Amino acid sequence: MSLSLVSVAAAGFALPGFGDGVVADAVRAASGWGGLALIFVYSVLIAVILPLPGEAVLVPAVEGTLKLGVPTPVEIALVIVVSSLGKALGSVVALSLGRRATRSGPVTRALQSLGFDPVGWSTRRVVELVRRYGYVGLAGTLMVPIFPDTLLLYAFAVLDLERMKFAVAAFVGTVGRLLITLFVLESVSSVS
């Protein structure tokens, strides 16, 4: 990877509210096999509670700071697989939490008293998407770079989806997102 690719990647992850976070900084500075474990944990957390883009996991491999003792393309592939597995696990956790929240009487009543029926609204929108595109729709929407996955995963959680298919869609979507991000960064670096 070229130096311009590294600078584009570093600049691309310095987003408002993202560049200053302790967790994001730790992920960007991850090194060694422990760093790979940190990438896994971060990927689980961004699926469940952290509304942050998952592309930051690429920075250590792209910048060469991960230092796993394998060629850079292998490091990048390992990061993509480990991050995608973390996102798949986190998506199942988000699915379980989302189901509980949508069935929570106090939460639902409080939001409805404010004139907002999030379950009804998100269910209609997501049902439309799932009916039209199925799990491929979930995987496809997860491929959109820089978009936080947390909201999307919880929106899908209001449906009665199968955990395994949900996890596979999250895995495939994350692999696609990270590959798209790498393609865009490589394209940008080759133009400059």
Residue pLDDT, tens place only, 114-161: 666 655 665 566 667 666 777 888 888 889 888 778 777 877 766 667
Q: Are 127 and 159 in contact (CB under 8 A)?
A: yes
Q: pTM score, two decimals?
A: 0.75
Q: Are 79 and 1 in contact (CB under 8 A)?
A: no
pLDDT in tens, 43-78: 999 888 877 778 989 999 988 899 999 999 999 999
Q: How far apart are CA 42 and CA 158, in angstroms?
A: 24
- 98: buried, middle or exposed (CB in 10 Å: 19+, 13-18, 0-12)? buried
pLDDT in tens, 85-119: 999 999 999 888 876 655 555 655 665 666 666 55
Rg (CA), the chain: 18
